[in-house]
Amino acid sequence: MKPLEEQLAQYASYHRDPRNIATHFIGIPLIVLSVSALLSRPAFPLGNWSVSPAVLVAGSIAAFYFRLDARWGALMALLLGASLWFGAWVATLATPLWLGVGIGAFLVGWVFQFVGHAWEGRKPAFVDDLVGLAIGPLFVVAEALFMLGLQPGLRQRVESRADRLRRQSVGVEVRN
């Protein structure tokens, strides 16, 4: 498995246009929340817990994040937990509302993604590597932290590596 920095750089190489990155701040959270909502039914009691397909998927993705990096894994697990809470709440709504929220957010999220990639002029990362579906939320969190001035060393390394990967794959000079 590629390490955290390499995963982020690979994903970032598909996301150099600031407009595309901005659309991901809307699209990816909508997609994550919608998947949590849609997979929160059915839920089965297991002791004091309720287990749904959403819990199993989120747990698997959180384990993947922990394998990349313990601190990032903990942060992402907290965010996935919030998503699960939202999904469980949506799942308590009447079926038409549950489906409306879940499917609606999913579709709107993907519209944002594809508009961003149209601006970028490049296909989404997951088209070449399905791991990109799991890296997307991590990328959004990383970009938010970078914008707050946190993790400057990681930011520099990811962006430098992403620019090199971009030049290699599309054969264009990247402007900074």
Q: What is the pLDDT of residue 174?
A: 44
Whether pTM exceeds 0.75: yes
The residues of the chain scoring below 70 in pLDDT are: 170-176
Phi, psi of 12, rounded to the nearest 5 degrees: -65, -25
In percent, how much of the chain has pLDDT > 90? 77
